Structure formats: structure tokens, C-alpha cells
Amino acid sequence: MVTWDDVVALGRELPETEEGTSYGRPALNVRGKFVVALRTDPDALVVRCDLDEKPFLLEARPDILFETPHYHGYGAMLIRLEAPLDDVREFLVDSWLLAAPKRLAKQVQPD
């Protein structure tokens, strides 16, 4: 099971990622923008995602990805804490890339 400490360690691999809160929950941000948060009921991670890609991601990985009515229509989805760490890393990086300024994102994903 993925822990918040695991998520923080993954976040440290990305430039300018900082710990904070989102609606009172532990979160990681990049330059003040939300990247990932821990939520309860159900226990999961909230990450940013491209709204157009979201239905395909949810369909392709229902074993680890889902949404609640609260996130319907928004560029965010939930990752089950039982997800493999490599999958969490992939979605965390994608979320970070969506939140980070373009110049900063190029440090992680060059042209």
C-alpha cells in the first residue's frame, strides 16, 4: 500500500515541489499549484489529469483509477492506495507537468 511518505519521496524527485495542504489535507504543490493530495473516505490520492484524457484513463485502469461524483467534470481523478508505486509515480509526474510552469516542466520533460 502506498503511504503519504512514499508520495512525498516521489515528489522530492521533481523540481520545486513543496509540501502543503489542500482543503486541510496533506498535499504537494509546485509553485503554489496543486499536484497531489491525500484524501479519506475513500482513502486515495487526488491528482490532476487532462480532462479530455480522463475517461480513457479511467476505462484503461479501473483497477487503480476512479472518480467520485465530486470530481466528475473536473481535471482530477483518484488513485487507489493499493496501486503499484510505479503507477503512482507515473500519474504524479503527469499531474506535476500539468501544474508546473512550462519552463520548469521542460526540466522534467524536454521538447
* Sequence spans of domains, the chain: 4-105
- The predicted pLDDT at position 111 comes to 54
Domain 4-105 has CATH 3.90.1150.30: yes
Question: What secondary structure letter does DSSP report for 109?
Answer: S
- What is the grid cell recorded at 103? 519552463
pLDDT one digit per residue (tens) for the chain, 111 residues: 999 999 999 999 999 999 999 999 999 999 999 999 999 989 999 999 999 999 999 999 999 999 999 999 999 999 999 999 999 999 999 999 999 999 999 888 765
Assess contact for 45 and 39: CB atoms under 8 A. yes
DSSP states of 67-85 as a string?
Answer: --GGGTTSSEEEEETTS-H
**How far is the CA of 93 from the CAs of 41, 89, 105, in angstroms?**
24, 6, 10
Q: What does pTM read for this prediction?
A: 0.94
Which of 35, 52, 45 lies closest to 97 in space, CA to CA? 35
Q: State the pLDDT at residue 90.
A: 96
